[in-house]
Structure 1
Amino acid sequence: MRRLGSVQQKMPCAFLTEVRDEPSRKREWQQFQVVASERVNPVALDSNVDAALATEKVDGTCCYVSSYKGEPYLWARLDRKPNKQADKRFRRFQHFHQSNKGFSWNIEDDFKNVPEEWLPAHGVQQVNGNPVPDENGHILGWVPVEKYNQQYRWHSSVVDYEDGLALVLRPHPENEDMIEITSRPLSELLEQTLELIGTNINGNPYGLGDKKHPLHVLVPHGIFQIRKAPSLHYQQIYEWFQQSDEGRVEGIVWHCADGTLVKLHRHHLNLKWPVGDTFLNTRPVVVHVDWSGDHLCDSSKNLFHAFSKLNGQQFGCLRDVHFES
């Protein structure tokens, strides 16, 4: 079975973690919290995390660009989850054993149906040709974003398959103090994972657009480098999140030289997120979208068309980017 790109959420935490028997602040369905201890994870130490590139963990929904129907396509994160009966059996097992080790899944009978095009993510273990669920009972995977699928309409809004383009937020290539919203060839993003952020994603912590004029963009993973990253010591990291302007982010992802990715989320330190104005909203943004597509029936509702009308304009921050009625 073909498998697609790794899912960012499976990265190890920078610190060894412990489980607390209280509801998660991050996931409403999760009845426990995963919090960081003060001990650095040996995985991070073995990968020389002190010499790693530290980048901002952006708060969105994970996406992937890979081939579909012979063309570069955007794929949305879709985990295959247990049906109600299997989930109850799994939760009972966890309760009595204080672990999920030894639980037996029936892949054919225990899981909800997924679209025919669904594929498991790279890194998902396989046994006898069947994907193995993770510790939460989920099988991580992807589904291609079709143009008129309402379930993924916000994903669809940031791609133009006819012209092979995607709307991307990234650092300005010539001014490190600025960021830019631009259109990039999907072929340029092949085999990359990204975050979709915007009006209707995760409570919109970056303040993009509004209900009348939703605004969404893709952010390639690892693209926003943390310039003055703290050392990987618990107290220094904690103070950095609390006191530094650059620390007003969802988390940090360290890119180690051996290819290992290590993460730390504010929730691991029992810190609040979102935090009002995020660090992304401290930087001016310029729009560089030159789009003249005429293949849509109603281009006035197209996000590429809306951004093209702002082409060349600069704004104080992401919150200030708005479209005219």
Structure 2
Amino acid sequence: MPRGSVQQKISCVFVTQVKDEPSCKREQQMFKVLATETLHPLAQSAAIDSALATEKVDGTCCYVTTHKGLPYLWARYDRKPTKQAEKRFKKYIHSKGNSKDFAWNVDEDFKVVPDFWIPAKGVKQSNGKLYPDENGHIPGWVPVENGNKQYCWHSSAIDYTLGVALVLKPKIEDPESLEICLVHLSNLLEQTLELIGTNINGNPYGIGNKKNPIHLLVPHGTFLIKDLAALDHNSLMSWFEHCEEGKVEGIVWHCKDGSLFKLHRHHLGLHWPLNDTHLNSKPVSIRLDLCKYEGDSSTLLGRFSKKDTQSYDRLKDILLD
């Protein structure tokens, strides 16, 4: 079954409700978005019961597509409204409660985007102009250029000269183990991935350290969930709380029609990150096949090349110097 590309915000698999309580997911957010026990109607129509369930990995979303005629890594960059427009939008939401009816002036209400910015696939258009989503953002991407400090952690996981990316995935001969390997960017074209590591989202997997940071790419849909509970609120709550495989940020379902649905621990009022995660319960080996590579110890790839063929009990145990 094909695994969907994450271009847009993914809906929760259950109908959600907003509660006026401080969020445990985002600081300064004075409300929670919680899952009800009602399955989302769109999930039902997309045959969610036969969908492929995968682990939702906690990182920042990336995309591989061409730039300057070559396969490039792109970072998520949403076009956001100006302060004035955002204030008007929030005031409308507070009084009306429905973002769909808000009248945007697309030409004037949004900030200028960087050079080479492209909209995400599926962005709505009205009268030939890009139109924001329900959060008032226009999802999009910018290419990760060498030397751009804003995306230095993205850059560390790729090498454009070799045309490769550092990827974390299940080991081919033993899917219960992990491997860090090199994948040609050309083999990742039009895929979305998650960048995880030391300086991403508080590093929930404990990868690397501040002195020697480690950042890796994980293609979306990489880690299959084999023994998922029944698709109902109570069963999934129990799965997250009591199963080793449930020590994850969330679940993403990939439906046969390309639809994606998710369930985050926070949708169930459960804590994340955890001290121990399912991803960190697996042994991991490094297999780079760098016979033609002259390791530059100033780069992440060069430091990994010194550890080629080594194995570790967990991701947390990998230390590069």
Tell me if TM exceeds 0.5: yes
Q: Is the Cα contact below 8 Å between 2:7 and 2:122 reproduced in 1?
A: no
Partner of 1:200: 199
Q: Is the 8 A contact 1:35 1:268 kept in 2?
A: yes
SS of equivalent residue, structure 1 residue 154: helix
Task: Give the corresponding residue for 1:10.
Answer: 9
> Are 2:311 and 1:309 equivalent residues in the alignment?
no
Counterpart contact for 1:226–1:246, Cα < 8 Å: yes
Query: Structure 1: which 5+ runs fail to align?
Result: none
Which runs of 4 or more aligned residues in structure 1 lie more than 6 Å from their structure 2 counterparts after TM superposition? none
Q: How far off its partner does 1:99 sit?
A: 2.4
State yes or no: 1:19 paired with 2:18.
yes
Does the CA contact (< 8 Å) of 1:170 and 1:223 recur in 2?
yes
In the alignment, structure 1 residue 221 sits paired with structure 2 residue 216: no
CA distance in 1, matches of 2:108, 2:40: 37
Q: How far apart in 2 are the matches of 1:165 and 1:12?
A: 32
Describe the superposition over 1:100-135 as per-residue Cα deviations: whole angstroms up to 9, x where unpaired: 232111222211221021111001101122211111
Asked whether the 8 Å contact 2:8–2:121 carries over to 1, the reply is no
Residue identity opposite 1:317 in structure 2: R
Name the amino acid aligned to 2:17: E
Does structure 1 residue 71 correspond to structure 2 residue 70? yes
State the partner residue of 1:113: 112
Does the 8 Å contact 1:6/1:122 carry over to 2? no
Instruction: Give identity over the alignment, percent.
Output: 57
Q: Secondary structure at the match of 2:107?
A: helix
Render the CA deviation track for 1:209-255: whole Å, top value 9, x for unaligned.
00000000000000100111111011000000000010000000111
**CA offsets 1:278-297 (integer angstroms, 9 cap, x no match):** 10000000001233545x9x
Amino acid at match of 2:179: E
Q: Cα RMSD between the aligned structures?
A: 1.5
Partner of 2:122: 123
Matching residue of 1:38? 37
Partner of 2:142: 143
TM-superposed CA distance for 1:9, in Å, is 5.5
TM-score by length of 1: 0.94
**Do 2:5 and 2:220's aligned partners in 1 also have CA atoms closer than 8 Å?**
no
Q: Tell me whether 48-57 or 208-217 shows the greater mean CA deviation.
A: 48-57
| 3-state DSSP of counterpart to 1:227 | coil
Residue 321 (str. 1) matches residue 313 (str. 2): no
Q: Work out the CA distance in 1 between the residues paired with 2:100 and 2:226.
A: 41
Find out whether 1:289 has 2:262 as its counterpart. no
**AA aligned opposite 1:314:** S
Long gaps (5+) in structure 2: none
Name the CA distance, whole Å, in 1 between partners of 2:129 and 2:277. Answer: 41
Which residue is equivalent to 1:269? 268
| Structure 1 letter corresponding to 2:314 | C
Partner Cα separation in structure 2 for residue 33 and residue 9 of structure 1: 21
- In the TM superposition, 1:94-109 aligns within 5 A as 94-109=93-108
Determine the C-alpha separation between the residues in 2 that align with 1:91 and 1:50: 37
Post-superposition shift, 1:311? 0.4
Deviation at 1:85, TM superposition (A): 1.0
1:177 Cα deviation from its structure 2 partner: 1.7
User: Which whole-Å CA distance do the structure 2 matches of 1:50 and 1:193 have between them?
Assistant: 24
Q: Does 1:60 align with 2:59?
A: yes
* Separation (CA, whole Å) in 2 of partners of 1:73 and 1:284: 30
Q: Partner residue of 2:176?
A: 177
For 1:318, give the aligned amino acid. Answer: L
| C-alpha contact (below 8 Å) 1:20/1:33 kept by paired residues | yes
Does the 8 A contact of 1:120 with 1:141 survive in 2? yes
Question: Quick check: 1:156 aligned with 2:155?
Answer: yes
Scaled by the length of structure 2, the TM-score of the pair is 0.95
- In the alignment, what sits opposite 1:187? 186
AA aligned to 1:187 is: S
Deviation at 1:29, TM superposition (A): 5.6
Q: Deviations over 1:285-316 (max 9, x none)?
A: 0001233545x9xx222011011111000000
For residues 71 and 201 of structure 1, the distance between their equivalents in structure 2, rounded to whole angstroms, comes to 26
Alignment-mate amino acid for residue 113 of structure 1: V
Tell me the CA shift for residue 140 of structure 1. 0.4
Tell me, in whole angstroms, the C-alpha distance in 2 between the residues paired with 1:120 and 1:29.
29
- Report how many residues are paired: 317
Q: Structure 1 residue 142: deviation in Å? A: 0.3
Paired with 1:24 and 1:127, the residues of 2 have a C-alpha distance of 34
Indicate the residue corresponding to 1:81 in structure 2.
80
Deviates more, 1:111-120 or 1:240-249: 111-120
